Structure 1
Amino acid sequence: MAHPLDHLIQKRVEEAIEQGDFDRLSCSGKPLADLDQPFEDCLARVAREQGGKPAFVLQNGKMQALIQRMGEVTDPLVRKALEQQIADLRTWMALEKEHER
């Protein structure tokens, strides 16, 4: 089944070709590397090359901020909520790291 936006995407690509947007790409005329890899691996490689970070790295930054905030909080209910958020992030990160392998 076709995606509902296929027609729009195709139209935009054709417009970009007509305007010459693809004429000066650094990889123009070269074969695309690693096409035999699974989609997720290719996506991860492109993200790395473009300066992207894996989701678990970004979540680790959030977790560190929560840990720092927890050191500043004295209200036991707020601390409990922060502890739960940290535990949830640790679980999510462990699952995400496992998925990356």
Structure 2
Amino acid sequence: MAHPLDSLIDQIVQQATRDGKMDDLPGAGKPLPHVDNPQDAVLARLMKEADATAPIVVLRRQILAAQDKLKTVTDEAEKRQQMLNISELQTKLALEMEAFRKYG
């Protein structure tokens, strides 16, 4: 089944071609890059261009940094606080991973 906007998109592309707006585009005449998951290709491209990082990756980095810091802490109160921080980060990571599994 065709998408309801296919006709409109075709018209816009044809008009842009007639107006010369499609001339000299980057990558013109070259094959499209291969994508592992076409459904996520646009999102992946936007994240790369924005230099964005997935929350799961950020949380894992924070956990590793907190664990490294814990190894150097000698004060017991500070050690407990750092362990609490790691626990909270691990909980956030578990929630993010569960949401990713459910909703993609």
* 1-structure distance, mates of 2:86, 2:78: 12
* 2-structure distance, mates of 1:87, 1:47: 32
* 2-structure distance, mates of 1:81, 1:45: 36
1:88 pairs with 2:100: no
Aligned amino acid, residue 84 of structure 1: L
Aligned to 1:46: 45
Aligned to 1:100: 100
Query: Structure 1 43/70 Cα, relative in aligned 2: closer, same or farther at 3 Å?
Result: farther
* 2-structure distance, mates of 1:56, 1:86: 14
* 1-structure distance, mates of 2:59, 2:46: 16
Q: Which moved more, 1:87-96 or 1:53-62?
A: 53-62
The alignment covers a number of residue pairs equal to 69
**Structure 1 position 53, deviation (Å):** 2.8
TM-score norm. by structure 1 comes to: 0.53
Q: Which moved more, 1:61-70 or 1:49-58?
A: 49-58
* 2-structure distance, mates of 1:78, 1:96: 27
The 3-state SS of whatever aligns with 2:53 is: coil
Aligned to 2:18: none
The 3-state SS of whatever aligns with 1:53 is: coil
Q: Which moved more, 1:73-82 or 1:50-59?
A: 50-59
1:66 pairs with 2:84: no
Give the root-mean-square deviation of aligned CA atoms.
Answer: 2.9
Report percent identity of matched pairs: 23
TM-score norm. by structure 2 comes to: 0.52
The 3-state SS of whatever aligns with 2:74 is: coil
Runs of 4+ with deviation above 2 angstroms: 22-28, 41-53
* 2-structure distance, mates of 1:26, 1:58: 32
The 3-state SS of whatever aligns with 1:74 is: coil
